[in-house]
Amino acid sequence: MAAQIAAGVEKLKVNGSGSAGETSGNGNTATDAEHNDSDDDREDEGTAPGATSGATKKKKKRKPRKKKSAAPKEQSTPPRVPVAQLFPAGVFPEGEVVEYRGDNLYRTTDEEKRHLDRMNNDFLEEYRHGAEIHRQVRQHAQKSIKPGQSLTEIAEDIENGVRALTGHQGLEEGDSILGGMGFPTGLSINHCAAHYTPNAGNKWILQQEDVLKVDIGVHLNGRIVDSAFTLAFDPVYDNLLAAVKDATNTGVREAGIDVRMSDIGAAIQETMESYEVEIGGKVFPVKAIRNLNGHSITQYNIHGSKSVPIVKGGDQTKMEEGEIFAIETFGSTGKGYVRDDMETSHYAKRADAPNVSLRLNSAKSLLNTITKNFGTIPFCRRYLDRLGQDKYLLGLNNLVSSGVVEAYPPLCDIKGSYTAQFEHTILLRPTVKEVVSRGDDF
């Protein structure tokens, strides 16, 4: 999901066909309909008393066999076929696998580490399943998103795809906790870098000159795949997008077991800030947004306890075996610093929520709905609308002020600036690093 603020980071974040013929009772094989009919039409021996020997036998009508529908072989457009149907064996595509370097190179062939890796097979398949859903949905979005569409239309198309492909529509109580959206679809435009999704009634229309960040989260059993990309329809922004994509790939390359966060941040910043972009005849250096970060991910918790900076700094924390990280970078033509701005849409129940006495009945009722339908998975106001909730804003604000629910306002640089984002999810397996969200697109 989008990113964390560096300050206060701990708060957030075929069925088989039958044989050619069937063997009849006398051992002969019926190979066509005429032969089958002759067998099927055979009546019990003898005739009813008084019947004439030359009486014509009444032919029985043969019921046509129902053909079993074959499992889909490919994805529909828009994507609506559950990915599990496309991979009936339950084995999903592996992400990009990268061997560790230096002192950790031994892990690739070490028998103990290989044994630990095999023990994680169910966990890996859940992540790969989610990643394949993410790839199929986002690649459709990359082709279908066009200027003139409303942000609501774009968000709902993405979210309908994720829900269909996970097989979890999220309308029954608890279904969204089993699988579906890992967080609300981020559709942040121009100077807004993260955490924007339309609320009900939003009229924002995507324009030709806009730079759109698309941040999508998919989860199955709380295993959240977090990956984002940026779209621009004017080639003037190409260098901005190239800078951020290159920086994210640098972060993915540098990340690994025993690597210090400060070293990753320094490498990301050096890569990103080697670019500049010319807009309207003026040259802008691409700046890393210094108070946005990548982050660790734990089950049902999009923002774990560790942050991955995108600028150089003094954080000596190391990445460890078995951890999952969202490596995301943000570049800007503005100040390279974001602040809260615009209407809030993203919320999440805090994993460490205090046990407080809620005075408002609306807050109590809403908390019960949130707990049963989302748990600690982030949600937005449109998701509450979808569940039939209404007149909930007073109760929602009460939950926020009580510290039970966290609100995540949009994060924006100065107006008139442009920002871009790219992101991948990596698994630090015992033997190798797997960039589970990697695809042919980025």
Q: How many percent of the chain have pLDDT more than 90?
A: 83
The per-residue pLDDT of the chain, averaged, comes to: 89
Average pLDDT over residues 285-296: 98
Please tell me the least confidently modeled range out of 6-20, 274-288, 310-324.
6-20
Nearest alpha-carbon partner for 321 in 123, 129, 125, 116: 116
Let me know if 226 is a catalytic residue.
Answer: yes
Model pLDDT, residue 65: 65
Q: What is the pLDDT of residues 185-218, one digit of tens each?
A: 999 999 999 999 999 999 999 999 999 999 999 9
Whole-number Å distance between alpha carbons of 131 and 170: 19
Model pLDDT, residue 314: 78
Helix (H) or strand (E) holding 331: strand 324-332
CB distance 373 to 349 below 8 Å: no
CB distance 387 to 191 below 8 Å: no
Whole-number Å distance between alpha carbons of 8 and 12: 8
Whole-structure pTM value:
0.86
Model pLDDT, residue 386: 98
Whole-number Å distance between alpha carbons of 404 and 356: 8
Model pLDDT, residue 68: 55
Whole-number Å distance between alpha carbons of 329 and 288: 7
What is the sign of the dihedral through the CA atoms of 108, 112, 118 and 122?
Answer: negative
The catalytic residue among 126, 132, 157, 215 is: 215
Average pLDDT over residues 315-334: 97
Q: What is the pLDDT of residues 217-256, one digit of tens each?
A: 999 999 999 999 999 999 999 999 999 999 999 999 999 9
Please tell me the least confidently modeled range out of 33-37, 190-194, 214-218, 436-440.
33-37
Residues in the chain: 442
The catalytic residue among 132, 157, 159, 226 is: 226
The catalytic residue among 134, 191, 219, 295 is: 295
Average pLDDT over residues 275-304: 98
CB distance 180 to 170 below 8 Å: yes
Model pLDDT, residue 14: 32
Average pLDDT over residues 251-263: 98
Displacement of CA 61 from its chain's centroid (Å): 52
CB distance 29 to 36 below 8 Å: no
Q: What is the pLDDT of residues 51-82, one digit of tens each?
A: 444 444 455 566 666 555 566 789 999 999 99
CB distance 224 to 129 below 8 Å: no
Let me know if 295 is a catalytic residue.
Answer: yes
Please tell me the least confidently modeled range out of 24-38, 222-236, 254-268, 323-337.
24-38
Average pLDDT over residues 88-108: 97
Looking at residue 216, its amino acid is I
DSSP E strand boundaries for 143-196: 179-189, 192-194
DSSP E strand boundaries for 111-263: 179-189, 192-194, 211-220, 223-232
Average pLDDT over residues 75-103: 97
Whole-number Å distance between alpha carbons of 164 and 247: 33
Let me know if 168 is a catalytic residue.
Answer: no
Nearest alpha-carbon partner for 135 in 428, 424, 429, 420: 424
CB distance 155 to 380 below 8 Å: no
Angle of helix 121-144 versus helix 151-166 axis, rounded to 10: 150
The catalytic residue among 132, 157, 254, 328 is: 328
Let me know if 423 is a catalytic residue.
Answer: yes
The catalytic residue among 157, 423, 424, 434 is: 423
Let me know if 303 is a catalytic residue.
Answer: yes
CB distance 83 to 162 below 8 Å: no
The catalytic residue among 168, 303, 346, 424 is: 303
Nearest alpha-carbon partner for 272 in 281, 280, 284, 261: 284
